[in-house]
Structure formats: C-alpha cells, structure tokens
C-alpha cells in the first residue's frame, strides 16, 4: 500500500486513485537501509513517512540510555510527530531495524494542500488521530498491563516481531531486561 491507496481506503473510501491525485500533495519514495537513522535527536522534522515495507523503532534518550518507545510496521505512518507539527527539535530518534521502503511527504507541501483540499485536511486529521490513539494505547498498556500481556498483544498484532526484531530491542520496548523477556517467551512456548 502507498499513501494514495491509504487515502482512498481510509479517507475517501469510494473514489478511484486517479481522482485522488488532483487533491494530493507530492510524495517521494526512498529505500532506507537497516540501522540507518531516519530522524535524529534534535532534528526539526520536515517529513512524515509512510512505511511500505520494513520495521522502524522510535526511541528517546534518558540519562545516556536509549529507550525504545515504539515500533512501526508496514502500512503505518512514522515520524517525530510533535516536531513535525510544532517545528521544534525532535526528542525522539527513528531508526530502521530492517531495510525499509518508505514514501514521505513534506510538511510545507501538506500545509499548501490544506489551503486547497478538503481531502488533504481530512487526511491530516486522520493521521493526527492515528498518532494520538496510538500514543494513548501505548500509555494505557504501560500503566495497566504486564510486560507479558503487552508482549502477547505485540506478537498477536505483528507476528513478524519475533523474526525481525532482536530480543534486546523488544525487551527495551517492554521496559524489562532481556532475561525477563526470555522467561516470558519460555512460559508461553
């Protein structure tokens, strides 16, 4: 799926891809290699990315330690959204865990499209709601579920996690030590 198809499926729902082109802002495709940093700490986020293939991680730095706060999977958006919206330095870093194909758009182009297109406005609202709901779910899971429950949800929703993300990264995401994750994995096997 690409951004055009995403807009047709989630925003317009009944319009053909050709018709949506006239309302859309320009997008660009890029291949990102495994371990390549997409957004650096302190960078002003000018792009929002749609993940066509691959997996990324979003991390924060606290007391010199990197903490993984999210993973992004195909057919999802990823960016330092607060930085993108407010044009402030990013407090997160986004890195490719696997080779990725991404499609991205520029904030400047989206802002121009907002002035001309209801579909662009609906798209912007939809993406904002996506990031908001994703953040709320992550916070809720962190406060109300055990690491085991969060892990089970993660592998249920994204089974490729087991194959493509190293255990130490999954453990960081869960906020536990790799040994604890190994115990969880052996319990559920």
> What confidence tens digit (pLDDT) does each residue in 46-71 have?
999 999 999 999 999 999 899 999 99
The answer to whether residue 18 scores a pLDDT higher than 50 is no
What does the H/E/C string look like for 104-119? EEEHHHHHHHHCCCHH
| DSSP label at residue 51 | E
Contact 109, 51 (CB under 8 A): no
The answer to whether residue 39 scores a pLDDT higher than 70 is yes
Distance of CA 79 to the CA centre of its chain: 6
Q: Whole-angstrom Cα distance, residue 9 to residue 25?
A: 17
> What confidence tens digit (pLDDT) does each residue in 141-184 have?
989 999 999 999 988 988 877 788 999 999 999 989 999 999 99
Contact 136, 40 (CB under 8 A): no
pLDDT band at 189 (very low <50, low <70, confident <90, very high): confident
Which pLDDT belongs to residue 114?
92
| DSSP label at residue 10 | I
User: Could you state, in order of their start, the residue ranges of all structural domains in the chain?
Assistant: 3-143, 145-189
Looking at 3.40.50.1110, 3.30.365.10, 2.60.120.10, 3.40.1010.10, the CATH number of the domain 3-143 comes to 2.60.120.10
In terms of Cα–Cα distance, which of 122, 140, 164 is closest to 10? 122
Tokens coding 70:
């999210």
In this structure, the number of other CB atoms found within 10 A of the CB of residue 89 comes to: 14
Name the region of 60 (left: φ>0; alpha: ψ -120 to 50; beta: rest): beta
pLDDT band at 109 (very low <50, low <70, confident <90, very high): very high
DSSP, collapsed to helix, strand or coil, labels residue 69 as strand
Across 53-62, 76-85, 87-96, 152-161, least confident range: 152-161
Burial (CB count within 10 angstroms: exposed 0-12, middle 13-18, buried 19+), residue 114:
middle
């Amino acid at each position: 799926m690409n951004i055009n198809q995403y807009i047709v499926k989630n925003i317009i729902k009944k319009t053909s891809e050709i018709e949506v082109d006239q309302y859309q802002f320009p997008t660009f495709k890029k291949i990102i290699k495994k371990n390549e940093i997409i957004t650096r700490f302190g960078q002003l986020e000018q792009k929002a990315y749609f993940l066509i293939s691959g997996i990324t991680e979003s991390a924060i730095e606290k007391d010199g330690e990197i903490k993984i706060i999210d993973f992004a999977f195909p057919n999802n958006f990823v960016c330092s959204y607060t930085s993108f919206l407010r044009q402030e330095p990013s407090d997160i870093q986004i890195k490719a865990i696997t080779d990725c194909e991404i499609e991205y758009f520029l904030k400047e182009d989206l802002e121009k499209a907002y002035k001309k297109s209801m579909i662009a406005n609906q798209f912007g609202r939809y993406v904002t709601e996506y990031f908001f709901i994703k953040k709320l779910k992550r916070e809720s899971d962190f406060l109300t579920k055990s690491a085991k429950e969060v892990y089970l949800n993660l592998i249920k929703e994204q089974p490729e996690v087991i194959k493509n993300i190293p255990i130490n990264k999954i453990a960081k995401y869960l906020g536990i030590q790799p040994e604890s994750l190994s115990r969880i994995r052996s319990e559920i096997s």
